[in-house]
Amino acid sequence: MPAIADPGGSDGRDLDVSRVSPNERAVVYAVRSAGRLEGTSLLALRSLRSIASSLVVIHPGPLPVAMRTELEALTDDIVETEAEEFSSESYRAGVDRVRRQAGIREVVLTGDSWFGPTGDLAALLDTTADTESDFWDVLPPAPPREAFPGEGFEAVVDRPWFFTAIRKRLFESQAWNDWWDQSAAPGDRERTFTPSFEVAGFRHTRAFETTHLHAHDPGLFAPEDLLDMGVPFVDRAVFTSYPPFLDRFAVLGHEIAGMMGRRGYPLDVLRSSLASSVPPKALNTNLGLLSVLSDTAVDPNSGSSMSIAAVVHVSDMDEIDEVLRRLQFLPSGASVFVTTTEGVTAARLERLLESWATTNGHTYELRVTPQSPGRDMADFFVACRDVIQSDRFDLVVKLHMRRAPWKTMNRLRYFRRYQFDNLLSSPGYVRNLLALFEKEPQLGVVFPPMVHVGYATMGRGWAMLQPHAQRLAKRLKITVPLDTVSPLAPYGGMWVGRPEAFSALTQHRWTFGDYGWKSERRYGHLAHLQERLVSASAGQSGFYCRTVLNYTHAEISHTALEYKVDQMFSTTRGWPVEQIAFLHRAGYTGYGGTVALIRMFIRTNHPRVADAFRPAYRLALRGHRVLSWFGRVASRLRRDRGDDEREVAS
C-alpha cells in the first residue's frame, strides 16, 4: 500500500495531550462467528462496555434474531455489512458511526480475535490514556500464519484487529479517509496501518514491548510471556490452530488456559465457545482435555447430588454379574434401565435384577426391544428416548454387553476392561468422575480415549463414514467442524453425559427402521454414525467433551502409543507436522504394490500431474470395483450351479 500524504501539524503543536476518559472513548468490535454469539464474545463485550461511552458491533451479513437481541442489550449500535465474511474494510463504517458523536476523542478497533480480558482492562487503558500519540496498539499485528487446509485448518486471511486505538486528530484527518480509499489486499489493513501513518507524521505508541521475546508473532508463540507481562488478551489462534503445528513450537493450550483461569477468566465459557467452532479431536488435544483419575476419591466425605440414569443394553450374558457389580459404584438412588431383544435373556435378567436391586439403593426397569442392526444405539436413542429426553436426570450412563464373536478372547477381554475400568473403575473413581461434571457446568460427555491396544482404529476412525457423517450433520443442523482423520468419539459406545448434550441427535425422532439395511443408503450405518457424532452434537449445544483414564490404563496406553508412533515416524524426516504433511501428500499406501508406489511418487513429486490424472484414476478404480463385483457374482453362481449338479448327481 503506498504511503499517504502528510496531514500537517505533525510537530505536535496542535496535539491534545489531555487525558482520555471512558466518556470520551468508543469501541468498534468485530464479530466473525455466524449464527450464534459465543460466550467469550459476550464476556469481552461486557468488559468493553465498562470502558467506553459508545460500543458498536460490526457483523458480516444479517444477524439472526436471537443474536441481534443479545447484542442490542449490550451495545449502542450494530453494523451489518453486505459481505458474508469478515473484512477489515468494515471498520471504516464502524468508525463513521461514532466519530461524529460529541466528546469522542478515541476509538478502539478490536474484535473476537482474542479471548479475555484476563485482567483489569481499565488499568491497560489508564496507562495509555495520557500518552502523547495519535494512535496506539497492544501488540504488533500478526503476520500471515501457516495454514493446513488439507487437515481442516484453512488460512485466516482477514481477521478482526487485535487492539488498536486511534485518536481524534487521526480519524478526523483527510489522511484517514485517503488511506481507506486506497485498495488493499485482505488482511493487509492492520499490518500496514502503523507504518503508513507513521510515515505520514502521526505519532504511534505500543503498550507492550515484545522485541525481547524473539518471536515474530508473539501473540501465537509467546502467550505465556505476554500474560506474565500483563497483556490482558490471549490470541484465539493459541487454541484453534492445527495441533501438530502448535506441538512443534510447544504452545501448550492446557497450560495457557490454566494461567487464564488463575487470573479469573471462566474456563468453562472458553471451552464451551471453542467446542462450537473447533473440530472436537483438535480441541481435545489443544486444551489437553484428558483427565487421569484416581481410584481414591479426592473428597471422600462429599456425595453427589446429581440424579443419574444408567442405560444398559444386554445381548451377552457373560460377565453380567461384573456389570451389575460396577453399577453399584454409582451413587445410591440411580435408575437403571436394562434393554434386551431376547425373551429368554429377559427372563434370566429379570431374576438377576430383582435379586440385585434388593442389595443396593438403585431402581431398575427391564425393557424388551425389537431385533435391530442398531443394537445398543437403537435401544438408547429409540427404546430409551423418554429417559434421555426427560428432565428427571442430570446424567446418563450408557453401557452395553453385546456379543462380538469375531474378536479374540484377549481383545474382547481388554476391550471390556478398557471401557468399564475407565468409566466405573471403583466407587472412588466414579466419585472423581462425577466431580468433573459438578465443577464444569459445560462439560457435556465423558468417555475413554480411542482404544488402540488390540485394535487398528487409529488413522481410520471414520471407517469410511465421513461423507455420511457430513450429510447427517447437515440434516441435523450440526455446524461444528468435523475432524478430518478420526473423530473424537466414544468408540465402543459407552459414555457418561448430560442429556442436554445430545439434543442435536435426539431432536430427530429415530425409529428402529432407521437402523435397517433399507435406510443405509440414506444414513450409512446409522449406529456407527451416531457414535461418531456424539462430540459434535455436544459442541452444537455449547458443551465440550473430556476423555478419562484410570492410572493403570494411562500407563498401558501411553507406553504402547509412544512406541507405535516412534516406529511410524522412523522413515520420515522433520518434525511431526512435516512428517504428517508428507504422508498425507503421498496418499494411501495400500499394500505397497507397484501401482500404489507409482501413485504415491507422482502425488509427492508431481502434484499437478496427479491432479490432472485423478479423475481418470477414480474412473478406473470404479471400473475395477464393478468388475470385481461381477467376478464375485459369477463365482457365486458357478458355485451354486456346482452345488445343484452335485445334489442332482447324488
Say if residue 647's pLDDT is above 60.
no
The DSSP secondary structure of 257-314, one letter per residue, reads HHHHHHTT--HHHHHHHHHTTS-HHHHHHHTT-EEEE-SS-SSTT------EEEEEEE
Q: Summarize pLDDT for 520-531 with one digit per residue, the tens.
A: 777 778 999 999
User: pLDDT band at residue 34, thresholds of 50, 70 and 90?
Assistant: low
User: Is the separation of the CB atoms in 526 and 372 below 8 Å?
Assistant: no
Q: Summarize pLDDT for 621-642 with one digit per residue, the tens.
A: 677 666 766 676 666 666 655 5
Task: Provide the pLDDT for residue 588.
Answer: 84
Task: Provide the pLDDT for residue 257.
Answer: 98
Residue 398 burial (10 A CB sphere; 0-12, 13-18, 19+): buried
Q: Which residues contact 611 (CB under 8 A, 6 or more apart)?
A: none
What mean pLDDT do residues 582-603 have? Answer: 84
Q: Looking up cell 459465543, which residue turns up? A: 38
Say if residue 53's pLDDT is above 50.
yes
User: pLDDT band at residue 13, thresholds of 50, 70 and 90?
Assistant: very low
Please provide the average confidence, as pLDDT, over all residues in the chain: 89
Pairing of strands 335-340, 443-447: unpaired
Say if residue 443's pLDDT is above 90.
yes
Distance CA 119, CA 263 (A): 6
**What pTM did the predictor assign?**
0.89
Among 208-222, 296-310, 379-393, the minimum mean pLDDT is found in: 296-310
Task: Provide the pLDDT for residue 11.
Answer: 43
User: pLDDT band at residue 648, thresholds of 50, 70 and 90?
Assistant: very low
Task: Provide the pLDDT for residue 641.
Answer: 57
User: pLDDT band at residue 51, thresholds of 50, 70 and 90?
Assistant: very high
Residue 593 burial (10 A CB sphere; 0-12, 13-18, 19+): exposed
User: pLDDT band at residue 264, thresholds of 50, 70 and 90?
Assistant: very high
Give me the phi and psi of 369, to 5 degrees please: -120, 160
Task: Provide the pLDDT for residue 535.
Answer: 97
What mean pLDDT do residues 479-503 have? Answer: 95
Task: Provide the pLDDT for residue 355.
Answer: 87
Task: Provide the pLDDT for residue 640.
Answer: 55
User: Is the separation of the CB atoms in 30 and 92 below 8 Å?
Assistant: no
Distance CA 250, CA 256 (A): 11
Q: Summarize pLDDT for 173-225 with one digit per residue, the tens.
A: 999 999 999 998 988 999 999 999 999 999 999 999 999 998 889 999 999 99
Report the sign of the C-alpha dihedral through residues 290, 296, 297, 299, in that order.
negative
Distance CA 423, CA 525 (A): 26
Q: Which residue has the higher pLDDT, 496 or 345?
A: 496
Task: Provide the pLDDT for residue 592.
Answer: 83
Say if residue 489's pLDDT is above 80.
yes
Say if residue 585's pLDDT is above 70.
yes
Say if residue 274's pLDDT is above 60.
yes
Task: Provide the pLDDT for residue 363.
Answer: 93
Say if residue 600's pLDDT is above 90.
no
| Cis ω for the linkage preceding 117 (within 30 of 0) | yes
Q: Which residue has the higher pLDDT, 266 or 10?
A: 266
How many C-beta atoms lie closer than 10 Å to residue 31's C-beta? 22
Task: Provide the pLDDT for residue 303.
Answer: 73
User: pLDDT band at residue 7, thresholds of 50, 70 and 90?
Assistant: low
What mean pLDDT do residues 425-454 have? Answer: 96
User: Is the separation of the CB atoms in 545 and 498 below 8 Å?
Assistant: no
Say if residue 612's pLDDT is above 80.
no
Query: For the chain, what percent of residues have pLDDT higher than 90?
Result: 67
Say if residue 6's pLDDT is above 60.
no
User: pLDDT band at residue 608, thresholds of 50, 70 and 90?
Assistant: confident
Task: Provide the pLDDT for residue 650.
Answer: 45
Q: Which residue has the higher pLDDT, 336 or 619?
A: 336
